[in-house]
Amino acid sequence: MDAQTEPDLFWGLRGGGGNFGIATAFEYRLHPVGPIVFGGPIFWPLTAAPEVLAAVRDFAPTAPDELGITVAARLAPPAPFLPPDQYGKPVVGLIFVWAGDPGEGAKAIEPLRRIGTPLADAVKPVPYLFLQSMLDGGAPHGMHYYWKSHRIPVISDDVIDAIVGSVDTITSPFSQGQRLGDRRRGQPGRFAGDCGRRPRGRARAERRRLLAAARSRARSARRLDTRPVGDA
C-alpha cells in the first residue's frame, strides 16, 4: 500500500488521525547525508531562554530546507564543550544540523548565534553519526523512563514561561525537555501541513468520508466471507 495504489488510505495512515489500520511494516525512502555535516549545540543560561525561544519562533518559519533544529532545556550535562562551573545548572540549547554546504549553513544560523551571550557554541563540521548519538548519554540504558509529549503549534509567550518554569525546578540530571520539528517550513512542515495537524474543516470532513468508506468496505468484505461456497 502506498500513495499510488491507495492514496486515501495512505493519507489516513500517515497522520490523518482516523485509526484507519494497523501498520505491520514500514518502507523508508532514504536520502544521503554526510558523512560530514555542519552542526552541533549552542547553550545559554536559562535566563536567556525567553529570548532564545522567541527567536526560534520567529526564525523557524522561513528557515531553509537544509536546516534542522532541536530545542533542549535541562540541567547542564558534564559535556566537554560546557564550562565546568555550569554543570548541573539549568540551561537552554539549540542543536543544529545542516545537510548542505557548511559555509551556507554558517550563514543560515548566524542570526541565532548572535543571541545574548552563549555559554558554549560547538557548531562546526562534524560526522553525522556524532550528532545522531550526541544526546544518548542523557538517556542511558537500564533506567526507568517516563516520557510525555504534547503538540504545540506555536511557541507562545505562555508556552515559553511554562518551559522556563519547569526547567527551573528540575531536580534530576536526567530530566529534560525537548522540542522536535521546530522547522515548520520545508519538507517536514509540508508533511505536517498535509496530515499532522488536528483535523479541522475540510480535513475533518475528509476523515469522516474515509471512515465511512472503510466501514462500507469492511461490511462488504464480511458479506463476501459469509457466502456459501459455490454461490454466484
pLDDT digits (tens, 9 = 90+) for 68-126: 998 988 888 888 889 999 998 999 999 999 988 999 999 999 999 999 999 999 999 99
Average pLDDT over residues 39-58: 94
The mean of the pLDDT values for the chain is 77
Q: Which amino acid is at 110?
A: E
State pTM to two decimals: 0.67
> CA separation (Å) from 46 to 49, 51, 130, 170, 200?
5, 10, 25, 12, 36
On the question of pLDDT at 201 being above 60, the answer is no
- State the pairing for strand pair 90-98/176-179: unpaired
